[in-house]
Structure 1
Amino acid sequence: MNFIQVQDLLENYKSAIYEKDVERFVSAYGADIHVYDCWDNWECKGIPAWKENAKVWFDGLNAEGVSLKVDFADLEIQEGSDLAFAHGAVTFAAYNQSGEKLRQITNRFTFGLRKEQGSWIIIHEHSSLPISMENGKGLFDLR
């Protein structure tokens, strides 16, 4: 895929997750992707590992009969000629097949992007949650 604008890449991110399309999802990432995620692993390096994470994620959603609608808020994009970054809040809202909203979480995120052959790709992704000082657990419901 060709992502001329960073916003094109973000729209692909949203629709690939909603459609649970692993190939389209990872098409927005560089081969050398380095991810710091909120779930399970401290980090993930490279497309093969990131693709496997996405497959497990999407397979779990399919098994549960859930689709995720993704929404970005407080989005800031800084775009140079060959490097860019985007940051803000991303909400993942889970819906069942009847369209009933089951749950949602909001993470903070940052994407570091590089332009390759005229297309933006994500080379670094970092998602986080604030942590409760009382119990050390992530705070999922601040938004």
Structure 2
Amino acid sequence: MRDNAEQVRVLIERWAEAVHQGRLDTVVADHAEDIVMFDVPPPYRGVRGADAYREVWPDFFAWQAQGAAFDIEELEVTAGQDVAFAHALVRCGTEDELTSHPELRLRLTLGLRREAGRWVVAHEHHSFPDLSSP
């Protein structure tokens, strides 16, 4: 199982680097055709399907190009033979946002499955903590 966990870790790290660099083809490459993503911005019922997943990234890349960070700080992976899950904390924000809230981290959860001998992300969830409460 260790090899599976390492394969998943490499996949996620490659994905995060592609997000950071704005490389759309690599960002979407290891995702299932029926991907479901729950993201911070709408749509509130989630993004469903590979085409819809691809469509959300250009706006994020435009925001990130203004100098925002996207760096995995912690990553935990659990993998079996056919399914895996991972959770991570990601330093994600503009310099001003991260200066105002230095502990702010994007929470990332991924569910993966093996398809045709390779790992694909079937579920992706992003969230930030609610900063309106003390």
TM-score (norm 1): 0.73
Aligned residues: 123
Higher helix share: 2
**Contact 1:17–1:68 under 8 Å retained in 2:** no
Whichever residue aligns with residue 122 of structure 1, its letter is V
* Deviations, residues 68-114 of structure 1 (Å, cap 9, x unaligned): 341131x32110111000013222254xxxxxx55444122210001
Higher strand share: 1
Whichever residue aligns with residue 24 of structure 2, its letter is V
Instruction: Give structure 2 stretches of 5+ with no counterpart.
Output: 1-5, 99-103
User: Would the alpha carbon gap of residues 128 and 93 (structure 1) be closer, same or farther in structure 2, given more than 3 Å must change?
Assistant: closer
Q: Please list, as runs of the form range in 1=range in 2, the aligned pairs for 1:2-81 lying within 5 A after superposition.
A: 5-42=7-44, 43-62=46-65, 64=66, 66=67, 68-73=69-74, 75-81=75-81
Q: CA RMSD in A?
A: 2.3
The 2-side partners of 1:115 and 1:30 are apart by 10
The alpha-carbon deviation at position 58 of structure 1 amounts to 1.1
TM-score (norm 2): 0.78
Instruction: Give structure 1 stretches of 5+ with no counterpart.
Output: 95-100
The alpha-carbon deviation at position 67 of structure 1 amounts to 5.3
